[in-house]
Structure 1
Amino acid sequence: MFVFLAWMMQLSAVFIGLVCHAAEPPASQWSSDEHRNLTLRQHRTCVENEQYLHQGLCCLNCQAGTFVKKECERDQEQGTCLSCEYGQTYTAHSNGMKRCLPCTHCRQDEFETSPCTTTADTRCQCKQGTFCIPDQACEVCKRCAKCKSGEEEVKKCTPISNTVCRKRDPSTETPPANPPPTPASPTSIVIPVIVSLLILCLLIGLSVWWFISRRRSCKTPWSKSSCDSSEIVKIPIDESGATAEERQNNQNAGLEGEESRPESRPLLQESGITKPSSPLEDEDRGLGDSLPNTTSSSQTSLSALPTAASAGNTPHQSPSACRLLPEMDDPLRHRLLPLQGSEKSLRKSFDLFDEYLDVRIHNKFFRMIGVSDNHIRIAENGAPADKVYELLKNWMQRQGLKADINDLLEALLGMDQRRSAECIASAAIRKGYYKHADSP
């Protein structure tokens, strides 16, 4: 009996121990520090402008003038940093970039005010007589305006601002004072009078001499015929004895000679009776005259044009001609919905922007959708065929889940590029990337 009770007590102790052990939480939830650290790393946020995230670690930024050659291997440490190339690349702030930014080269209408260093970009300034407003996208320096007649200059033109003019107040204008008449000296009056008398006497003398010599020549026997001929010329035509038919022929011949005279037109031109030329336009008020390749900002809607491609378009000057679907009156009548997922459909449509977007408005378009000038410069230094794709990919990464092709099409419409927007929308629907919101 005593043995049975001892055996029952041991069995109860074992059962109680098993129950208590089962009630304890798993050891991995309390003792696995690595598992907890890994979970925290996946959702951590590094300090902006001081650190960058790499494989769950917050690495310290490299200093201005350097870039990240190799990322850190431990949290809160700095990786390997290399210096930028002086005069070629730079970084103006501490960063986690894997390469430096290329230095800016001044345009032909600018001059360099400070060179590029490893920590600062090149500084350029418009040449004298031109300006460029810093807050606006400035592709070329614009010519300074000149004030019109009736205006006065309030502020002179500077490299960063245009001339400021305002209308002149008529009440403040003072007419120029007439200079007081200066008394004429006797010498200034006598000399012109004497010269005029001498010239008059000379002309009279020449006339008398010519008249006398003419009368003498007529009295000589050998010049009698010439004198008679001059008298014969003075005889009236009616008394010459010519018949009516001869007079009519002579009259017709005279009219034909006058009409066919070759010098009649030059005489009209030299007579001074010419059409007054239209006055020249006023000086350009700062809009600039050095834009040799500006693109027309407006495009005709393709829905009202033939679908045949224009023979004069080239890939580098104008967007490719597109073909609208027969049943599609207006590809932009409704919003586009993705058929292959938002990100996949959007990425596939990037090539359509490269095909139909006019290359001459690339930079303006990318600035309008929020791409920075630094990223545009980096893309231009890369392969030309990848420029549009890389910049649109950068825009999509910045937008995140909000990235939508409809925003890009609205940006084109805002720039008066309806033709390009219709081509892109039509091609995206035709290739099966998108469909209209009202389509089944």
Structure 2
Amino acid sequence: MAAGPVVLLLLLLVASVAVATSGTRCASDEYQNLGLCCKLCPAGHYLLQACSVNHTTGRCVRCEHGTFMSHPNREADCWPWTRCREDQEVVAAGSESSDQQCQCRSGRFYCDSEDCMESCFQCQRCDGLTLQACSATRNAVCATEVSPEPGSAGPWEWLVLSGALLIAVFLFLCLCGRKVVMWVVSWLKRRASEPGLASPRSSQPDEVLIPMNPMGDVPAPGSEAPPLEEEALALVPGAGTCPGPSGDTGESVEPQAVAATGSPAAPEQAPTALGLSILEQKYEQKYFLRNMPSDDIRIYYEFEHQVPECKWRMFMRFIGLDENEIEICERENPGNLLEQHHKMLLKWTQKLGRKTSIFKLMAVLHKMELHTCLQNIINKLIAENILVNCEETTN
């Protein structure tokens, strides 16, 4: 009979332990504190004081500016934002629930890893054309950089090959160089004495005549357009009703001086203002421009493309730009010839204002004896309905 109370006491103890165990089992969004289950503080907050009632939220405080907490928690403080280094920039601002995001400064630094914990790398500057600009995750790619192919010769191999080639050429010239030189000289003399040999001007690669506007002056297939000087001499001022200057200057365009050998005089001397003025008036009487603003890009597009690069700087000097203005346009647009040409023509229009004229450009090309280049530009402008031939409107 004495064992009865002991058994009853043990049963009560087991029941109390089971009740206590079941009461302290907390959910996934709770934490245990002094036998109670308290709910976690939400993201963007930290815990200041635990709960005093089971399954409730304690005292949570919002993260201060410059700190964050990205998930539900029971932390006593929020975490500080990541601070960007001097070689980094902010790409995503921090908030109460998210950290501040940094990356390498675009255009100046880059990093080839995800975190860039130590430092960013300085972007390289290309001396020539840039194929791919520097970004936060990759370096710039320059046009001069060529990846060596597998198995290609290295610098020492090329040096040895170049030296061997020079020795071979030297030995060849020592043994039979005099005979080769005499043969080349005699061949050139025979070519020069052959009748009907094309002149050097006709063999220039940039002197290719573009067919004229099919609705305008169409030359016969295979025939050359008449020289512009002859056209200018044949014009009669005021003969048509073409818009533009109608005053008669009473002067004629003199053909270019020709040396005794039959080749034109060197066009490297600046044309006189009087000669350019006469030529400009003649072109104004033969053609007129559609109603377009003087800075319309379509007017100067063909000049930028058709004038040979070797003649471009001289062309700019003749129309009135000085060396400093030409060099500024080149430095501001490195490696981009068309953009350099465009900027120079825009600077010319800004410098001369109302005195700028497409006919002045034609007159300069005429004086420089770039006749085929000039005719190509005229044909293109007529075909694009920018320039109109007065003779077509009067017929």
TM-score, normalized by length of structure 1?
A: 0.30
TM-score, normalized by length of structure 2?
A: 0.33
Query: Which structure has the larger Rg?
Result: 1
